[in-house]
Structures are given as structure tokens and as C-alpha cells.
Amino acid sequence: MSFSYDVSTDVGMVRLLISDTQEKNADLNKIYLFEDAEIQAVIDRTDSLDLAAAQLFDIIAGSEAKLATVVRRGDISDDRSKVAAELRAQAAAIRERESADVEPLSATINPSYERFSGRRNELLEREDKVRS
């Protein structure tokens, strides 16, 4: 059993992204969700820490979906059925942001077939003149 929380490490940063930052509660019971080795395994399988966090949200959502219940006692109710959907929505938002950040660059090059265009640029004293 291994837990570390240091945001200068990849595992610590992913813990921060998924809010898995406390090792024990006031009663000294284990409350963290993932072992360091589990987080590192997910990091190794993904391209970025954000994608690792999204994958871990999906894993948590899968666990929550198994436990999804609605409990009512008098005026008090505990609805766990929407937790998995919210976790999956967070994972989807991370993936969408990540895919928007890595959009490939593109360029269009239009060569000039105009005669003496380089000399004309020099005569017009353009800053973007063609250098020979």
C-alpha cells in the first residue's frame, strides 16, 4: 500500500486533478482511492496527465455505477445514482479540452509566379521583401 501526495511529481499532480489528496481521515482510516502504482500505470498508458485524470474519473465512475442507489428515510434521501454520470462528464470535459489543445498546425504556401516579384519588393521597400 503506497500513498504519496507531492504535486511536483506526476502521481501527485494527477491526485490533485482527481481530488484524491488525503491519505487518512480523522479516524486514521484510509480514504484515498488509488495506490501510487495504480496511478502511475494509468499515466504510463496515456499521453498526458490530463488524460490520465480523465481515465481515473472513468474508473471511479464505473465503481460508483455499481453502487448507485437512492436511499430515502423519512424526509432525508441520499441519491448516489447521478455520481457516475457527473464523473463521466468531468472525464469527457477533460478529454475535450485536451483534444482542443493539441490541434495540429497547418500552413498554406502560395508561391508567386510573377516575374521580378523579388525585385519589386525591394523597390517598394517592403519589410517582408524577398532576400537573395
Average pLDDT over residues 103-107: 67
Side-chain-facing half-sphere of 64: CA atoms under 13 Å: 18
Give the bridge partners for 30, in sequence order. Answer: 24
Residue 36, number of CB atoms within 10 A of its CB: 18
- Residue scoring higher pLDDT (85 or 106): 85
φ, ψ for residue 38 (rounded to 5)? Answer: -65, -45
pLDDT in tens, 13-55: 999 999 999 888 877 788 899 999 999 999 999 989 999 999 9
Closest CA to 49 of 86, 97, 17: 17
Question: How many secondary structure helices (H) and strands (E) does the chain include?
Answer: 5, 2
Q: Are 22 and 32 contacting, i.e. CB atoms less than 8 angstroms apart?
A: yes
pTM for this structure?
0.62
How long a stretch of residues is the chain? 132
Three-class DSSP category at 24: strand
- Residue scoring higher pLDDT (128 or 125): 125
